[in-house]
Structure 1
Amino acid sequence: MIPEIAANQILERATMAPGHATEALSSRFAELMAHEPAQPMLAPVGSPNVASHVVERYELGLRDLFNEVQSFSVQAPRMDPHELVGRQIELQYHMAQVAMQNNGVIYAAQSSKNGLSTLMKNQ
């Protein structure tokens, strides 16, 4: 048989401060997010060319975005609502910018692949 719990008890539990376990997990997550990844995303290969330069710039953009989101998640609890909304809008703008760059890089890579494929077929 399921014990009945009063609505007041449910509300009290829902509005309680997070428990020690939740705080420990939260602090551990923040600690993990504060460190750089152990391995670089891309290892340098051969001599630099246009494609490797584009990929390197794109990787730096992604890393910057990751760092911005990480710092925002740390600072957000201490921001007032106006700062929070303003910073969120800035992050959304930066995310849209990175997404557009991603689409451009994918389009250029696909176009190059199709051109090379056509060239190979015509040989």
Structure 2
Amino acid sequence: MEVLNSLSAKEIRSIRKAVENDFERYRFYQLIECKPVPALPEGEEEMRDFCSRIEGAVSRLPAQERFLIQQRYLNVMEYDYIRDQQIYSELFDPPISAATYSKIRTRALNKLAAILGVSLKGVVNGAKEKI
């Protein structure tokens, strides 16, 4: 976590974008998981492993951070329709402010970057690389 504090805002945004890209891949895998692809049996195993890694990482977060990530990024069916404002004003009980929501999301994404091993070197060079 201290490493993230020493990075520039641009570098931190790049790392967070890489984590968000992992969430997008997770949602895609969850959507196609029901339809086996006979030509790629090992691909299915890789998809399951990837989804398990994401779910395991998210499950390690504190309750508020886990709830936010699950609602905002892992909700496969509602992802395209749910907005941050809905989450902090309607889904959190009691509702929280936009600033508090932003702080919780930032902490959660930083922790997930560390847990998932997203390295800055790979992100800055244009391709995400795991440590």
If the length of structure 1 is used for normalisation, what is the TM-score? 0.30
Looking at both structures, which has the greater relative contact order when contacts are Cα pairs under 8 Å and sequence separation is at least 6? 2
**Greater helix content:** 1
Mark the structure with the bigger radius of gyration: 1
